[in-house]
Chains A and B, each alone.
Chain A
Amino acid sequence: QQPVQSPQAVILREGEDAVINCSSSKALYSVHWYRQKHGEAPVFLMILLKGGEQKGHEKISASFNEKKQQSSLYLTASQLSYSGTYFCGTEIPPYDNAGGTSYGKLTFGQGTILTVHP
């Protein structure tokens, strides 16, 4: 099942902060975050593997609340280059994978469009 992202769109001025949320109705093994510029392919930002894990990538960080089955992406002091569509991708636990194969199949949220203005 597709995770739900909120908000659907965010408009910021340079230097402002934003939070993008990703919620799943299923127990999660990991959460991935990607950013896609218009007309380009999505680019990997980070993976969160453990409940409670937080990671940072320059001024972009994320947290993963395993119990609540949700993740949040934090963008601080936004820059023009942060504009794009942000996707979370969720991965279910291996023991739920009936085939037992070693792949990590991601289900992506619908995306959050972030626009940063000067």
Chain B
Amino acid sequence: SQTIHQWPATLVQPVGSPLSLECTVEGTSNPNLYWYRQAAGRGLQLLFYSVGIGQISSEVPQNLSASRPQDRQFILSSKKLLLSDSGFYLCAWSSSRWSSPLHFGNGTRLTVT
């Protein structure tokens, strides 16, 4: 069966520090991968998605970047964190077929102080 791992679960970082969040998927190949952010409140905002190694599409201009160095690995990074980067970050995967369910990781709660 497929599983998605995301770490760390919580992170407290000072403003201006770098960020690296990692997500890996097991049990499937060539998945579509996504990074979502959920600010305090409720909405899910799509930040990045990837349909293959090295293929990254950005949805929202921001202080973050994403990379996909391997088929089942997705990394979210920042060189210098801002206070506004605080939030709940969710990695997700889906099959490459249209209209496939999203399967989310457990999320990383990031607090920038």
Interface residues of A (CB under 8 A from B): 2, 29-30, 32, 34, 40-44, 47, 49, 85, 87, 89, 91, 94, 101-111, 113
**A104-B98 contact in complex given A110-B42, A111-B43, C-beta closer than 8 Å:** yes
Segment at the A interface, from B11-19, B62-70, B99-107: B99-107
Q: How large is the interface on B (under 10, 10 to 19, 20 to 34, 35 or more residues)?
A: 20 to 34
Interface residues of B (CB under 8 A from A): 32, 42-44, 46, 49, 51, 90, 94, 96-107
Contact B98 A91 (CB under 8 A): yes
Query: Which A residues touch B44, using CB under 8 A?
Result: 42, 87, 89, 108, 111
Query: Which B residues touch A43, using CB under 8 A?
Result: 104
**A30-B99 contact in complex given A42-B104, A101-B51, C-beta closer than 8 Å:** yes
Contact A103 B96 (CB under 8 A): yes
Contact B103 A44 (CB under 8 A): yes
Looking at the assembled complex, report how far the CB atom of B111 sits from the nearest CB atom of chain A, in whole angstroms. Answer: 14
Give complex CA distance A43, B102 in Å. 8
Query: Which B residues touch A41, using CB under 8 A?
Result: 90, 104-107
